[in-house]
Amino acid sequence: MSNAIVIGAGVGGIATALRLRHKGYKVTVFEANAYPGGKLHAFQSNDFRFDAGPSLFTMPWLVDELFELFGLNPKDYFDYKSKKVLCNYFWEDGSSFSVKADQDLFANEAAEYFEVEAVSIKKYLASSQKKYELTSGIFLEKSLHKASTYFSKETLKAMTSVFKLGIHTNLDAVNRRHFKDPRLVQLFNRYATYNGSSPYKTPGIMSMIPHLEMNQGTFFPKGGMHAITKSLFELAKEQGIVFKFNEVISKINHEEGKIRGVANAGGTYEADLVVSNMDIFSTYEKLLKGLSKPQRILKQERSSSALIFYWGINKSFPQLDLHNILFSSDYKNEFDCIFEKKILSDDPTVYINITSKENAKDAPKGKENWFVMINTPANFGQDWRQLQREARTAILQKIERVLKVDVSDLIETEEILDPVLIESRTGSHRGSLYGASSNSQFAAFLRHPNFSREIKGLYFCGGSVHPGGGIPLCLLSARIVSDLVG
């Protein structure tokens, strides 16, 4: 039986390990932390439970198929329910809007609220779906870096269509062309943050992203987002995959262009193939020091990071749901601050995720667990202690203005996660959540491939390589690696 080593037990690493195990490999996963999941983790603070990282769950079938590979019923391990309300949006002028999962209901309510024709909403969503369906087969599900990818009618159709679908303009321009109400434009501009980018820089083709949420739906895993990690970890152990925690890999061994294994303080481990689930920048800087680096890729602009306050709130808010957005009054300035000035806006958009709305056990009765996040620049040596203080004040003021309540005295417990901690805990270069940003026309083509051109048997998975960041794309990267292995 051939040996495979996976470096990193993030969701992409676990998924890759499962796919390799299904192919007959003996798989060992090395993880620097004491727990699996990477960013997809959870913790307890007093009587409040928090999902530490990703809070949005789409495309759940990508998790299901990992169980189905082994002939198992996913629901015996992992279950979820669809959300009827996708997100509640709030603006400084006192207006608010709840986006429903039912597309007809959403279109009709939005038409009345934003004074736009319902057919315009449906046309936009149909365009979003068309862009996704035309391009997902090549941009998300296959390696862009193999010539064989391009030798099909499907691929040629996608390639010829790409240039007609907004690649020469930005997402904001696409949305302003469709809608007049600036609030509706802002609502759809927000989807650029799903890959850590700016709507004023990311190409218009990214208007495909709403399809994943508004056409396919959003879901809540029973037990919270951490249930994704826990269920896949249990499956992996059942299938004989070995996990070594608190094990920091120091080197990927290779000789004459062929993988040999890995090494750390405990010794040397031989393998027929190695998959790095580490951030691609960190992989080259720390594990492949003697190898020539793909400088153009590694110097790409970093995606945004995040500053998160985990608050146990001594009150319940019926006007809020699982996902809630309190918008900035100057959205463009907010992104200019993040990507151009590398600072925080004094009027940030605030995202509040409350899992106790779905899982009552996550907070004591009459209370709520608030995951309060703002988008930030990556870590370039800013004074994050000072930025934490300034951001906390700005967030509390925003909540008071928009929701008409001072929550500062309602906070029973508080934990904070900033880009510095994200970088140290997950190895994400500069704490960027998605590796490189998508703030360029050909961002999809510029991401690092899922294989090494120099070392046979070396592969890469996770959010910092093709096809991108976020749970679904990390799971797709695992599938691509499995297909490349053959």
Alpha helix segments (H runs only) across 163-308: 171-178, 182-189, 209-210, 226-238, 280-282, 295-298
**Same domain flag for 276 and 359:** no
Q: Is 164 part of any domain?
A: yes
DSSP-assigned letters across all residues of 91-148: -TTS-EEEEESSHHHHHHHHHHHHT--HHHHHHHHHHHHHHHHHHHHHHTTS-TTSGG
Pair (113, 94) in one structural domain? no
Distance of CA 401 to the CA centre of its chain: 29
343 to each of 198, 274, 276, 421, how far by Cα in Å? Answer: 14, 38, 31, 17
- Residue range 204-214, pLDDT digits in tens: 989 999 999 99
**For residue 335, is it within any domain?**
yes
If one compares 447 and 446, the residue with the highest pLDDT of the two is 447
Is residue 234 a part of any domain in this protein?
no
Domain match, 322 and 402 both:
yes
- The region that residue 366 occupies, defined by phi over 0 for left and psi between -120 and 50 for alpha, beta otherwise, is left
Burial class (CB in 10 A: 0-12, 13-18, 19+), 223: buried
The domain boundary residue, chosen from 433, 456, 477? 433
Query: Which is more confident, 315 or 145?
Result: 315
Q: What CATH number corresponds to the domain at position 85?
A: 3.30.519
Q: What is the pLDDT of residue 165?
A: 62
Distance CA 253, CA 255 (A): 7
By residue count, the chain amounts to 486
Contact, 125 vs 209, CB < 8 A?
Answer: no
User: Mean pLDDT in the chain?
Assistant: 94
Do 198 and 176 belong to one domain? yes
Q: Please give the distance of CA 472 from its chain centroid, rounded to a whole number.
A: 8
Structural domain ending residue among the three candidates 171, 200, 216: 216
Q: Is the pLDDT of residue 151 over 70?
A: no
Edge-to-edge strand list for the sheet holding 249-255: 249-255, 258-264, 267-270
Give the pLDDT of residue 136: 80
pLDDT of residue 145: 58
Q: Are 7 and 115 members of one domain? A: no
pLDDT of the residue at 152: 58
Count the domains in the chain. 3
- Residues 167 and 282 occupy one common structural domain: no
| Mean pLDDT of all residues in 346-350 | 98
Query: Same domain, yes or no, for 337 and 397?
Result: yes
Residue 478 lies in a domain: yes
Same structural domain, 97 and 109: no
Residues 449 and 396 reside in one and the same domain: no
Burial 281-306 (b: 16+ CB within 10 A, else e): bbbbebbbeeeeebeebeebbbbbbb
Please choose, from the candidates 10, 61, 87, 44, the residue with its C-alpha nearest in 3D space to the C-alpha of residue 349: 87
Residue range(s) defining the domain that contains residue 277: 3-32+247-301+443-485
- Answering whether pTM is above 0.75, one says yes
> Which tens digits make up the pLDDT trace of 246-266?
999 999 999 999 999 999 999
Residue 25 lies in a domain: yes
**Residue 429: per-residue pLDDT:** 95
Residues 117 and 192 in one domain: yes
Q: CA–CA separation, 237 vs 235, rounded Å?
A: 6
Specify if 352 maps to a domain.
yes
What mean pLDDT do residues 142-155 have? 58
Q: Is residue 419 part of a domain?
A: yes
- Whether residue 233 lies inside any domain: the answer is no
Q: Is 312 within 8 Å of 413 (Cβ atoms)?
A: yes
Q: To the nearest whole percent, how much of the chain has pLDDT over 70?
A: 93
Query: Looking at this protein, which amino acid is placed at residue 22?
Result: H
Q: Specify the pairing of strand 305-313 against strand 368-376.
A: antiparallel
